Amino acid sequence: MSAINFNIEKKSTGARGARASTLTTPHGVIHTPAFAPVGTKGSVKGILPEQLKALGAEVVLANTYHLYLQPGEKIVKEAGGLGKFMGWVGPPSPNGSGEAKPTITDSGGFQVFSLGAGFGKKVSKFSPDEVEGETAEKEDQIAVYDEDVASQHGQLAIIDDEGVSFTSHLDGSLHRFTPERSVEIQHALGADIFFAFDECTAPTESYDYQKEAMERTHRWAERSLKAHRQMEYTRLRQGSGVAKQAIFGIAQGGQFDDLRRISARTIAEMGFDGFGLGGSFSKKYGDDSLQSALAMLKELPETMPVHGLGIGEPGDILASIAAGVDIFDCVAPTRLGRHGSIYTKHGLIHLKNDKYRSDFTPLTKCQDFVNPSSDDGFTKSITSGFTMAYVSHLVRSGEMLGAVICSLHNLCFILNLVAGAREAILDGRFDKYRADFVRDYYST
């Protein structure tokens, strides 16, 4: 019995393609395609929950690794779950705060990549039998770590078949994630949708390593699912009612089509509630890996909801929607915004550039491209008094309001882009919608 219900309202004919759906979660409905703003530590940086709602966001994504380290999953559980904890709630009821809105947690698998293991061969890896022991052995494990790499990049995450050992970036203390532990933490965090623990790889890894990591991810997926079912079973037996959380399995395979396909099939057959398209699609790795990753979706049953992890570049989002991805999350809107870059119909611009010092064009001009029905929307009205010159000034002078305005703007842009895609799908004109956008955004 799944905690979510996925209902496809409209889909392209033929092979798997763009579709519009409603995803009903224990905390509310998500209309897909949907974009989930990222609130890694339980906060979409600089943005109030009320503002997120006004922008049209229906779900936010937080991170297991970060919340585990700080404040600790127990606190979040005690608060009543992630949504309640972070104030991501609906209208208040007469006798208290409102009901929590939909949330997703990432498993911490990405941190295995970003905290060091992504640097692959430079990082020592352990065979399973070396790490069977408990905490006492961990000191020794770290000693094998490549000191040069560690000091150069500050990375400290070591993969073995059983799980991942890592040192906290906050205080250097030693920790360990296994699939079971990740699930346990994510149960405590209580998001509507959470992910199986995986190993994210860079597309620059060799075939052999991609295969090894993929197979490990599959074993971890199985263990994650099993752990989830056991915990859920126990909870249900204690009379806690219905299933509260859905678990998505993550497929990997890097840039290799055959691995991607194998991974998709393997994950799909395990019985997850949904599918996570894993990987890292940063531009620095080249352009092919996303295409290769999207191709694997053909292996999935149409009825399976798909989450594109970390896919957030506008063109990539539309390409992914075309391939049947339903939900997205990405740090780009907020990170770019904090750094002073904003999306416009004609591409990304850097407000710090000299030419915007005296550009008195209203900021809202950048949002005129999609979803005309949102013309009276929140961001439009809240940012209507701001000019590029003013925001440029704020960003230059380090005023936090600059970061906030740019983040709002970018979230508005991406949420509108995705909402516009949904409308277009429902109207049967998605291909044109995508083509028009891409033409304008990537011209010049």
**Closer CB to RNA, residue 312 or residue 377?**
312
- The smaller minimum CB distance to RNA, of residues 229 and 357, is found at 357
Q: Provide the residue type at 79 as one letter.
A: A
Kindly write out the interface string for residues 49-68 of this chain, putting x where it contacts RNA by CB under 7 A and - elsewhere.
Answer: ------------x-x--x--
Does residue 418 interact with RNA by CB under 7 A?
Answer: no
Q: Which residues are catalytic?
A: 106, 329
Single residue of 11, 125, 138, 153 touching RNA by CB under 7 A: 153
Sort strands 164-167 and 174-177 into parallel, antiparallel or unpaired.
antiparallel
- Give the C-alpha separation, 97 to 81, whole Å: 13
Contact 61, 38 (CB under 8 A): yes
Helix (H) or strand (E) holding 265: helix 257-269
CB of 46 to RNA, least distance (A): 8
Work out which of 106, 162, 180, 273 binds RNA, going by CB under 7 A: 106
Nearer to RNA among residue 118 and residue 420 (C-beta):
118
Interaction with RNA in 338-367: which residues (CB under 7 A)?
338-341, 350, 352-355, 357
User: For helices 257-269 and 207-237, what crossing angle results, to 10°?
Assistant: 10
CA distance to 78, 90, 92, 93, 209, per residue, from 96 (Å):
16, 11, 6, 5, 52
Identify each DSSP E strand in 88-210 by its residue range: 103-106, 157-159, 164-167, 174-177, 193-195
What's the 3-state SS for 363-408?
Answer: HHHHHCCCCHHHCCCHHHHHCCCCEHHHHHHHHHCCCHHHHHHHHH
For 376, counting Cβ atoms within 10 Å of its Cβ (0-12 exposed, 13-18 middle, 19+ buried), the class is: exposed
Among 334, 374, 387, 416, binds RNA (CB under 7 A): 334
Task: Compare residues 11 and 352 and give the one whose CB is closer to RNA.
Answer: 352
Residue 331 as a binder of RNA (CB under 7 A): the answer is yes
Cα(350)–Cα(130) distance, rounded to whole angstroms? 49
Query: Is residue 111 a contact residue for RNA (CB under 7 A)?
Result: yes
Looking up tokens 């990375």 gives: 155
Is 100 a binding residue for RNA by CB under 7 A? The answer is no
Q: Which residue has the tokens 């497929």?
A: 251
Name residues contacting RNA, limited to 191-250 (CB under 7 A). 195, 198, 200, 250
Q: Which is nearer to RNA, 18 or 414 (CB)?
A: 414
Which range in 101-109, 236-244, 374-382, 425-433 contacts RNA by CB under 7 A? 101-109
Instruction: Note the helical H segments in 118-206.
Output: 138-144, 147-153, 179-189
Site string for RNA, 257-296 (x = CB under 7 A): -------------------x-xxxxxxx-----x------
| Residue among 108, 106, 163, 155 nearest 135 (CA) | 163
* Identity of the residue, 406 or 424, whose beta carbon is nearer to RNA in the bound complex: 406
Binding mask 364-403 for RNA (x = CB under 7 A): --------------------------------x-x-x--x
For RNA, the closer of residues 106 and 160 by Cβ is 106
Question: What residues numbered 307-326 form the site for RNA, per CB under 7 A?
Answer: 309-313, 316
Taking CB under 7 A as the rule, does residue 411 contact RNA?
A: no
Kindly state the tokens that stand for 163: 């799980």
What count of residues does the chain have? 444
Shortest Å distance, C-beta 163 to RNA = 14
Q: Which residues bind RNA (CB under 7 A)?
A: 38, 40, 44-45, 61, 63, 66, 106-107, 109-111, 113-116, 153-156, 169, 195, 198, 200, 250, 252, 276, 278-284, 290, 309-313, 316, 329-332, 334-336, 338-341, 350, 352-355, 357, 396, 398, 400, 403
